[in-house]
Structure 1
Amino acid sequence: MIFQAFFDCMNFTSWFLLSFVLLILSDVIRNRRPRNFPPGPWALPLLGNVFTGVDYKTMHELAQKYGPVFSLRRGSERMVFVAGYKMVKEALVSQLDSFVDRPIIPLFHAVLKGLGISMSNGYLWKKQRKFANTHLRYFGEGQKSLEKYIEVECNFLCEAFKEEQGRPFNPHYIMTNAVGNIISSVVFGHRFEYTDPSFRKILELDNDALLLAGSAQTQLYDAFPGLMKYLPGPHQTVHANYREIMTFLNREIEKHQEEWNPDDPRDFIDAYLSEMEKKKEDPRAGFNTETLLACTLDLIEAGTETSSTTLRWALVFMINYPEIQEKVQAEIDRVVGQSRLPTLTDRPKLPYTDAVIHETQRVGNIVPLGLPKMASKDSTLGGYFIPKGTAVTTILSSVLFDKNEWETPDVFNPEHFLDSEGKFQKRDAFLPFLAGKRVCIGEPLAKMELFLFFASLLQHFTFRPVPGKMPSLEGVLGFNNSPEEFRMQAVPR
């Protein structure tokens, strides 16, 4: 009788409210913070901390409040963040076997589907990364040296700058094309002219996608992919851009398939096609055209965007700090002169130039957060319990600006990388490429590119601001931290 009376008095509104209360209680119970889990701000039922921006400045503030290991909740997923050199080193080096795997990141999973190098795991990841490392070295250093590729491209880039005749111009896509041509030569077997409209469009699409990937609206997709995929927003633009990029890359692969000669591999794609034949009996290794497409995207992005963004930051810093620019040029003039381009053998004799490049990477803070990893087993970090499957993100910007590691962390100061005798010195807290097993696959190439492009440009040009328009030192935060668009003058020396 009591239950019958209860049901009789319930109307639609009452049932709705009861259902909502039960849903909230279920969420609270199901998503209770695990025992000894890293602390963090209070999370809304169902939504979690979706209104807390996942950008490096907010992460720095949360680290100050909750400590170097803290957590957030996005929807029903808990995420752990690690700040400061000491704790990041523990996560990346001391416990490198605990945090190797990559969690599913819905925004990028829709594109790569867990294939390729950056987003894959386990046996497939090991085989793909090993193959990429081996063949990048072979095509870069065996038949033709990467240094030769870069030297040729330095000439093209300097000529393009000279054609501006000291007039104001935006160097963004000339720089990106030049850097992209190095990895393109290795992967595709050819470069692209700076006037090539198809490649220019791909560079623009990729730049826009990476910019939008860091927006708060796009991050909602990662929290609620099942719902957001049906709604308009920047995540739709990201996916549309990548579809067009993949179409471009697939055309390159199809050309290689038509011309492929297994006895004469010309580049990475040719070598991969040969490996597909060899690995037919090992499907778990993932050597197929779908994975080749994902690997090609990984390599082109890893070999283009980060290095070109770093070089644009270098120009911004040289324009804003002309006294540093003059010291770099004086060192290059003294060691190299004007009769030849700088080479890698000059690097040990150009410590100040090398220091400026490293300080550009530090202050430019190109990848503040990077891609998260996932605890492959129940682990402990900073005294906190990290359950298996938890996403863990290292805040690289907190390392590059760690007050305990850098004398003047908030100042552009090349002296950070020079000892008392003016010789170049490495710094343990310099981790722009990450560390451990997931260290950036393009690190060796990036180091060569940054030195040779930067030294060649400073050898040939003095960079000045457009009168009354000094380039901003504030970055534009997307997936990367890039300079605001700027125009400059490249005055031949």
Structure 2
Amino acid sequence: MLLIIACYCLLTRKPNQFPPGPKFLPIVGNINILRHIKVLKFHHLLWHHISKLYGPVVGLKFFHKYVVIVSSKEAIREVYSRDELNGRPDGFFFRVRTFERRLGVVFTDGHYWENQRRFSATTLKHLGVGKFSMAKHIENEAEELIKEFFNKAENNESFYMHSAFDISVLNLMWVLLKGERFKLSDQRLIDLVAAVHKNFQVLDMSGGILNLFPFIRYIIPELSGYKELVDTMRPIWDFLQQEIEKIEENFNPQTEPKCFIEAYLKEIQNHKGVESYFTYEQLHGICIDFIQAGSETTANSLGFAILYMLHHPKIMKKVQVELMSIVGVNTLPKLSDRPKLKYTDAVISEVQRCANIAPLGIAHRAVTDAKLDGFLIPKDSTILCNLYSLNMDEKNWKNPTEFMPERFLNDDGDLVYPDYFIPFGMGKRRCIGENVAKSSLFLFFASTMHTFTPYCIGELPSLTGIDGISLAPKPFKVLLRRRF
């Protein structure tokens, strides 16, 4: 009996100064709390519920892995700003997408990540990110999108609006990666985007059971999620393989690179024969990161933006009035108009806050034992920053569940962004494509609102999204009516 008691105490004991949380069960830890997802429907709502019970820093254990949920603005900002908490989780689940290796820039850390991020940021800047040339790409893509919408409006054609921006958003990333765009009707891109959406819905930022016990993929490949994860990644792998091979056929390392892939291939050539971080596998890994992270959240944000306008027609009308007063008739908005379109920008920010597109951001990892808010975070703990809790905190926002764009405007009508509004993250891990994402999100939304009024087909669609790494709007159809 004493031996049983001793074993029980040992298996349920928490590390000294570990954050508060539910008691550990022997062996499984807190895996039992995941059953609440059946009721709450979303992972971030489960973590929000847990934080209400135990505080802004909560400690959990899933079998042998520690997971820390962080909810307050002070603790989240501290996680984002400290190097020892700025790692990325490792394990089989996070490696599946990059050929079972630790590649890319999203799920890597240390010198490897610093080297690759520095090269990526420098190359993207050289290719025009943040400059006039990229602005022209975004404006041209918006113009092509509006032409597509014109055709549907002229034919009185209803269509699915939740995915209407997908190819346009991906085109902006593809212009940087390969130096060309696809037609909006290109079936390869339509299939690719569908795979990206599905992939984000099967991913779990905590890593799930597959990360804890990779061997179960051989026993229950379907139930473990492994088969679905690989099936959604395969179209992305195949697409990139084909496109990179096309570039290699005519690639000349002596010429100035015209796109990111050429720049990376040139770097591979420059490091040929020596040990280097620059490899073909890493090129694929970075491209996967750019395609997934660079398209998913922006496209979903635009889908939600239209959805919120359907729910708030008075706000939509105010956006359209502002656009007409600044842009005028028979012309499209330009990025140069953005400083004057303050209410439109405020609406986009409020969509990002209310829709919570990336409610948990990207998971962090403690690279060493560290203190957070007075608690000990053991090395290799997975840290989930619940941005949903931040966006819905009554201490930060008045009536947080209400859609009020005015909360981002001061008494003079100027835009204000509180330091707890961080849709693109902060610190060294801040989104590398933030500039492109903000510009495309603004211009695609403004162009659509200025040129058309969307009308719902059938019942007003729900604002509740589909769970995943990023939340996606549920499918909904609209009719567009031209405004001029």
Counterpart code for 1:378: D
Structure 1 pair 229/408, CA: closer, same or farther in 2 (3 Å)?
A: farther
In structure 2, the residue matched to 1:46 is: 27
Q: What pairs up with 1:53-452 in 2 under 5 angstroms?
A: 53=34, 55-93=43-81, 96-112=82-98, 113-141=101-129, 145-165=133-153, 166-214=156-204, 219-231=208-220, 232-233=222-223, 234-262=225-253, 263-280=255-272, 283=275, 285-452=276-443
Residue 172 of structure 1 and its aligned partner are, at CA, apart by 3.4
Q: Secondary structure at the match of 2:97?
A: helix
Residue 142 of structure 1 and its aligned partner are, at CA, apart by 8.7
Counterparts of 1:26 and 1:280, CA distance in 2: 55
Structure 1 pair 22/365, CA: closer, same or farther in 2 (3 Å)?
A: farther
Q: Secondary structure at the match of 2:49?
A: helix
Per-residue CA deviation, residues 375-408 of structure 1 (Å, 9 max, x unaligned), is: 1222111110112222211111111112111112
CA contact (8 A) 2:324 2:450 kept: yes
CA contact (8 A) 1:75 1:224 kept: no
Q: How many pairs are equivalent?
A: 469
CA contact (8 A) 2:56 2:71 kept: yes
Counterparts of 1:381 and 1:323, CA distance in 2: 44
1:459 aligns to 2:450 (yes or no): yes
CA contact (8 A) 1:50 1:220 kept: no
Residue 81 of structure 1 and its aligned partner are, at CA, apart by 0.9
Residue 22 of structure 1 and its aligned partner are, at CA, apart by 8.7
Residue 355 of structure 1 and its aligned partner are, at CA, apart by 0.2
CA contact (8 A) 1:173 1:203 kept: no
Residue 149 of structure 1 and its aligned partner are, at CA, apart by 1.0
Structure 1 pair 143/264, CA: closer, same or farther in 2 (3 Å)?
A: farther
Counterparts of 1:257 and 1:316, CA distance in 2: 42
Counterpart code for 1:293: H
Structure 1 pair 122/424, CA: closer, same or farther in 2 (3 Å)?
A: same
Residue 40 of structure 1 and its aligned partner are, at CA, apart by 1.2
Per-residue CA deviation, residues 47-106 of structure 1 (Å, 9 max, x unaligned), is: 22223237111111110111000011112101111002122112212xx21211112143
Counterparts of 1:108 and 1:261, CA distance in 2: 34
Residue 205 of structure 1 and its aligned partner are, at CA, apart by 1.2
Counterparts of 1:24 and 1:392, CA distance in 2: 31
Counterparts of 1:305 and 1:443, CA distance in 2: 13
Match of 2:460 among 470, 473, 492: 470
Residue 244 of structure 1 and its aligned partner are, at CA, apart by 2.6
Residue 227 of structure 1 and its aligned partner are, at CA, apart by 2.0
Counterpart code for 2:269: E
Counterparts of 2:74 and 2:205, CA distance in 1: 29
Residue 31 of structure 1 and its aligned partner are, at CA, apart by 6.5
Residue 141 of structure 1 and its aligned partner are, at CA, apart by 4.2
Q: Secondary structure at the match of 1:70?
A: strand
Counterparts of 1:329 and 1:279, CA distance in 2: 53
CA contact (8 A) 1:311 1:454 kept: yes
Counterparts of 1:362 and 1:201, CA distance in 2: 29
Q: Secondary structure at the match of 2:265?
A: helix
Q: Secondary structure at the match of 1:225?
A: coil
Counterparts of 1:120 and 1:409, CA distance in 2: 34
CA contact (8 A) 2:129 2:435 kept: no
Structure 1 pair 25/491, CA: closer, same or farther in 2 (3 Å)?
A: farther
CA contact (8 A) 1:48 1:72 kept: yes
Q: Secondary structure at the match of 2:219?
A: coil
Structure 1 pair 378/228, CA: closer, same or farther in 2 (3 Å)?
A: same
Q: Secondary structure at the match of 2:163?
A: helix
**Rg larger in structure:** 1
Residue 281 of structure 1 and its aligned partner are, at CA, apart by 6.2
Per-residue CA deviation, residues 322-351 of structure 1 (Å, 9 max, x unaligned), is: 100000010010011124321222111111
Counterparts of 1:374 and 1:229, CA distance in 2: 27
Per-residue CA deviation, residues 345-379 of structure 1 (Å, 9 max, x unaligned), is: 21111110010011011111001112211112221
In structure 1, the residue matched to 2:40 is: none
Structure 1 pair 253/398, CA: closer, same or farther in 2 (3 Å)?
A: same
RMSD: 2.2
Counterparts of 1:186 and 1:409, CA distance in 2: 37
Counterpart code for 1:256: I
Counterparts of 2:379 and 2:71, CA distance in 1: 20
CA contact (8 A) 1:43 1:49 kept: yes
CA contact (8 A) 1:116 1:295 kept: yes
Counterparts of 1:301 and 1:227, CA distance in 2: 26
Counterparts of 2:64 and 2:475, CA distance in 1: 37
